[in-house]
Amino acid sequence: MIEVRLFATLREGRGKIQMLNASEFACAGDIIRHLDIPTEEVAILLINGFHQKPETPVKDGDIVALFPPVGGG
């Protein structure tokens, strides 16, 4: 399984944590699309605590964290 942790507004309608079957996803971008999150709404993508790109492969046991852009002042 892959544990997906969602932050801030990305939780709306999706919850805080989703457990997904690793065999259904080749990369982090596949997970973002599966969760129906528009690309522009993901600013930070972490895999096991480190910043990665959507095309980074994912595997069983990974923890993926997604954060939306925060840009106000």
Partner 1 sequence: MESRYERNIPALSEAECTILKEKRVLVVGCGGLGGHLIDMLARIGIGAIRAVDSDVFEASNLNRQLLCEVPLLGVSKAQAAAERVRRVNPEVDVEAIVTLLTEDNVRTLLKGFDAVLDGLDNIQSRKILAKACSEAGIPCIYGAVSGWVCQAAVSMPGDHLIDLLYPEEATLKDKSVLSFTPSMCASMQISLCVKLLVGRPVETGTLYYFDLLHQEFETIPMV
34: left (phi over 0), alpha (psi -120 to 50) or beta: alpha
SS3 of residue 43 by DSSP: coil
Task: Tell me the HSE value of 32 on the side-chain side, using a 13 A CA sphere.
Answer: 23
Count of residues touching partner 1 (by CB under 8 A): 22
* 13 lines the binding site for partner 1 (CB under 8 A): no
* 17 lines the binding site for partner 1 (CB under 8 A): no
Q: Hunting for tokens 């939306």 — which residue is that?
A: 68
- Site residues (CB under 8 A) for partner 1, limited to 42-71: 42-44, 46, 49-51, 65, 67-71
* 21 lines the binding site for partner 1 (CB under 8 A): no
Which residues are near partner 1 by CB under 8 A? 7-9, 16, 39-44, 46, 49-51, 65, 67-73
